[in-house]
Structure 1
Amino acid sequence: MGHRARGFNRVDCGSVEALLAEGRAVVRYGDIDVVVVRTGKALFAFEDRCPHLGRPMTQALVTGKCVVCHRHGQRFDLVSGNRVGNGRGPQSQLRVFVAEIEDGRLWLSTPNQPMTGAARPPAGKQDGGIRKGSVRPDRDSR
């Protein structure tokens, strides 16, 4: 059900029950909070931090293959992470992840290259985990 090829540093982020029920969940990938959204049959995952202002993206609106920061309206492509349109502030890129469902589990990985330093999942840690109470329905997922 993932929309891209499997990437690097694949991590089991827990059961997909909340994601399937609500259309959106925040999970942990190592020490990074990641928003995972389901729109129809597609899954998208992006860091829960606006690259421009550093604010949470948990409440961001997902439309098609773009996410819109609810703080300043900047749009980002959910496949590449690139900024879409002119927007305000410096050119920035949203960190995106590969999201897949396999055997009732949500798996995340990095799309193009291995992560380094603090962004790398802890060694031996395979369960990122879905945070309780962090699920918000998405308008496009119904």
Structure 2
Amino acid sequence: METTLTWTPVARLADIPRLGSRVVATAGGDVALFRCADDSVFALDDRCPHKGGPLSQGIVHGYAVTCPLHNWVIDLASGEAQAPDSGCVNRRPVRLEGDRILLALPA
């Protein structure tokens, strides 16, 4: 069965500092929204693939976040852990409309 997704406003760009994050609680679990220095926005499940650490509490640098527990570096665009580590975080569809951040959530 295919799930229908609805673009849902969850924040404004100004709600997230540059190189910062914000957590959005969803029915499917917490999602971390990340804002990069160039105002691009990414959304990942808020769980590191290593030990489940809260990625939203990590340090954002470039287009990556470093997990606060064990320093795994996660690529924000792909969700992939950077070598030498391996693993992947579930990416969530996100987009900007003006200054609004929309997240694709199950209808």
Per the alignment, residue 9 of structure 1 pairs with 5
Q: Evaluate the alpha carbon distance shift between residue 63 and residue 104 of structure 1 in structure 2; reply closer, same or farther with a 3 A threshold.
A: closer
- Any idea what the Cα deviations from partners look like across 1:20-44, whole Å, max 9, x if unmatched? 1442311133322111121122111
Offset, 1:103: 5.4
Per the alignment, residue 44 of structure 2 pairs with 46
Per the alignment, residue 95 of structure 1 pairs with 90
Percent sequence identity is: 30
**How many residue pairs were aligned?**
100
> TM-score, structure 2 length as denominator?
0.76
> TM-score, structure 1 length as denominator?
0.60
Larger radius of gyration: 1
Residues in 2 aligned to 1:15 and 1:81: alpha-carbon distance in whole angstroms: 21
Q: Provide the aligned C-alpha RMSD in A.
A: 2.2
Decide which of 25, 30, 34 is 1:28's aligned counterpart: 25
Mapping 1:118-137, distance limit 5 Å: 121=106, 123=107
* SS of equivalent to 1:20: helix
Answer yes or no: is the 8 Å Cα contact 1:57–1:69 preserved in 2. Answer: yes
The structure with the largest strand share of the pair is 2
Relative contact order higher in (CA < 8 Å, ≥ 6 apart): 1
Q: Evaluate the alpha carbon distance shift between residue 105 and residue 41 of structure 1 in structure 2; reply closer, same or farther with a 3 A threshold.
A: closer
Unaligned runs of 5+ in 1: 1-7, 110-119, 124-142
Answer yes or no: is the 8 Å Cα contact 1:29–1:108 preserved in 2. Answer: no
Residues in 2 aligned to 1:107 and 1:30: alpha-carbon distance in whole angstroms: 16
Offset, 1:57: 1.7
